[in-house]
Amino acid sequence: MIQKKNEHWFSMLFIWRGSVLPQLLPRLSLLFLISVGIVVLKGTLFNFKIPLSPAPFTLFGIALALFLGFRNSASYDRFWEARKLWGALLNDTRSLARQAITFSGYHRDGKEVDTFLKYLIAFTYALKHQLRGTDAAEDLRKRLDPVLAEKLSTAIYKPIMLMKEMGIWVQQAKENGKIDTILQTAFDENLNKLSDIVGGCERIASTPIPYTYHILLHRTVYIYCFLLPFGFVDSLSWLTPFIVIFIAYTFVALEAIADEIEEPFGLEPNDLALNAMSEMIETTLLEMGGKPIPDYGKNKLGILD
């Protein structure tokens, strides 16, 4: 995910990184060439004059803009819900770490507390990899006991299995007299919140916007854009290709942005910065536990993920 400071209005006209323009450039170039050809042929196709005027495009453009607005709103709702879930993950892991460090009878620098913090950190990375469909093995090996890391290598839902290990840790702490029933309940409530976060993320990842919306909008946008030159050629002449490209960029870019943020856990430039957020959670938990903090360079929250 790219998050930049406020840019000067003029410099924003030339920003390339994080824009959808690079992926749209071939399509817009093709449309520009087609528009030039239509101007050369004076709006005729196979010796037949296409009788279109700007008026229908104005009315249809308003309807298309409303449809694009709905599509972008639906996509952004998914993106923002995903961001809120990962914000809740930060809060709940901090709460669990605080409970393990300050409320349990274990020494705050002891092996037992360190193990619980490792479970929380590994849980975060396991969730990130599950949502992206990538291999979590390396991250888990760095942060867990080798035996447990090997055990999790064949698990399908690794975050859930790590929640199970955290539940076992809490139960053993209760059996060893390190926490009482009230504290066990408090731990369980926060573990339930982690379960809700996993379920919410899985819901977003496994339930995309119905494909028929994508197909309908995609077809409508491109048919509209490729018909535009016929409507403007008589009134704009050689200005037609430039006006058409400007209008087409607006509609096609909105569709591309909606497609990009619809899947917020991906690797596109404007998707959520899960790498940076995972490292942020790891850093804050290690700091709470008094452990050395790794140096992640510039890959922090708000930098390209």
Query: Over the stretch 243-301, which tens digit does the pLDDT of each residue have?
Result: 999 989 988 988 888 888 899 999 888 889 999 999 999 999 999 998 888 876 344 54
pLDDT band at 18 (very low <50, low <70, confident <90, very high): low
Q: What is the pLDDT of residues 132-179, one digit of tens each?
A: 999 999 999 999 999 999 999 999 999 999 999 999 999 999 999 999
Catalogue the long-range contacts made by 255-261 (C-beta closer than 8 Å, 24 or more residues apart). 255/68, 255/71, 255/217, 255/218, 255/221, 256/20, 256/23, 256/24, 257/20, 257/72, 257/75, 258/68, 258/71, 258/72, 258/74, 258/75, 259/75, 259/214, 260/20, 261/75, 261/76, 261/78, 261/79
Mean pLDDT of the chain: 87
Q: What average pLDDT does the segment 216-233 reach?
A: 88
Cα dist from 154 to 117, 136, 146, 161, 261, whole Å = 22, 11, 14, 11, 31
Q: What is the CA radius of gyration of the chain?
A: 26
Residue 300, in any domain of the structure: no
User: Using the 8-state DSSP alphabet, how is residue 55 labeled?
Assistant: H
Residue 281, in any domain of the structure: yes
Q: Report the pLDDT value the prediction gives residue 296, as an integer from 0 to 100.
A: 66
Residue 247, in any domain of the structure: yes
Q: Report the pLDDT value the prediction gives residue 208, as an integer from 0 to 100.
A: 86
Q: Report the pLDDT value the prediction gives residue 156, as an integer from 0 to 100.
A: 94
Residue 66, in any domain of the structure: yes
Residue 35, in any domain of the structure: yes
Q: What is the pLDDT of residues 21-80, one digit of tens each?
A: 888 889 999 999 999 998 888 878 777 777 777 788 888 888 888 888 888 899 999 999
Task: Give me the numbers of helices (H) and strands (E) for the chain, helices first please.
Answer: 10, 2
Write the Ramachandran bin of 290: left for phi over 0, alpha for psi from -120 to 50, otherwise beta.
Answer: left
CB 75 within 8 A of CB 262: yes
Cα dist from 295 to 139, 183, 221, 298, 304, whole Å = 16, 34, 46, 9, 17
Number of domains, the chain: 1
* Domain containing residue 167: 25-41+53-288
| pLDDT at residue 14 tops 80 | no
Residue 7, in any domain of the structure: no
State CA 238 to chain mean position distance.
41
Give the span between the Cα atoms of 215 and 271, in whole angstroms: 22
Q: Report the pLDDT value the prediction gives residue 287, as an integer from 0 to 100.
A: 92
**Three-state secondary structure readout of 18-37:** CCCHHHHHHHHHHHHHHHHH
Best CA proximity match to 288, nearest among 159, 162, 127, 109:
109
Best CA proximity match to 283, nearest among 142, 94, 87:
94
Give the span between the Cα atoms of 73 and 262, in whole angstroms: 10
pTM listed for this prediction: 0.85
Listing DSSP states for 126-170 in one string gives HHHHHHHT---HHHHHHHS-HHHHHHHTT-SSHHHHHHHHHHHHH
| pLDDT at residue 237 tops 80 | yes
